[in-house]
Structures are given as C-alpha cells and as structure tokens.
Amino acid sequence: MAEVKGDRLHIRLHVYDDDIEVTINREDEEYYRAAAKLITDRYNAYAQAYKGRKSDHQISLMALIDIALLYQRERNKNDVAPYDDMFAKLTSEIEDALGESRKK
C-alpha cells in the first residue's frame, strides 16, 4: 500500500518478521524495497545458521555487518581519489611541457 503526497510516498516495508511504515522520496521506492529484501534475506540466512545458539540481537548485528561489508566493498570500488590525483599530476606535467614549448 502506498499513499502519495507530492513527491513523497508513504509505504509499508516487510522486514524479516515486521512491517515498517516509512515516508520516502518517490524515486527511492525501489531502493527501499530492495534494501528491505536484502535485510530480510541476510537475517534469514544468519537466523537459519545460528538460531538457538545466538540471540536475535546478535543475529541482527551479524546481518548488519554483512550488509555493511557489501557497502564498504562497493564504496571502495568507486573510490576515484587515486584517479583524481593521477589526473592532477598528468595535467600539471602537460601544462609544464606546454609552457616550455611555448617559451621556445
């Protein structure tokens, strides 16, 4: 169920064994639904492996760490700082070379 208010949307997400109502930007709906599914899937995987041996809180934290790890790996893949540094150095070298050729 979704209630529309301008560019905001009120939706209900099913996360593991709970329904959570949130108000989101309309364009983010698919991301919220995918996030809820990811959380549910990861929690279910850890619950299946550790239910009865670990508390629900610990299982939740394990799922969060797993998701955070995925995020950190993806974030690291998209780190452009090394490329920015390399391009700045190359640009400086090109400008220096062009400056020397103009002097001749």
> Could you report the per-residue pLDDT of 8-18, keeping only the tens digit for each?
999 999 999 99
Q: Do the Cβ atoms of 19 and 13 come closer than 8 Å?
A: yes
> Could you report the per-residue pLDDT of 11-63, keeping only the tens digit for each?
999 999 999 999 999 999 999 999 999 999 999 999 999 999 999 999 999 99
Place 4 in a pLDDT band, splitting at 50, 70 and 90: low
DSSP 13-80: EEETTEEEEEEEEGGGHHHHHHHHHHHHHHHHHHHHHHBTTB-HHHHHHHHHHHHHHHHHHHHHHT--
pLDDT at 5 over 70: no
Predicted confidence at residue 103, as pLDDT, reads 66
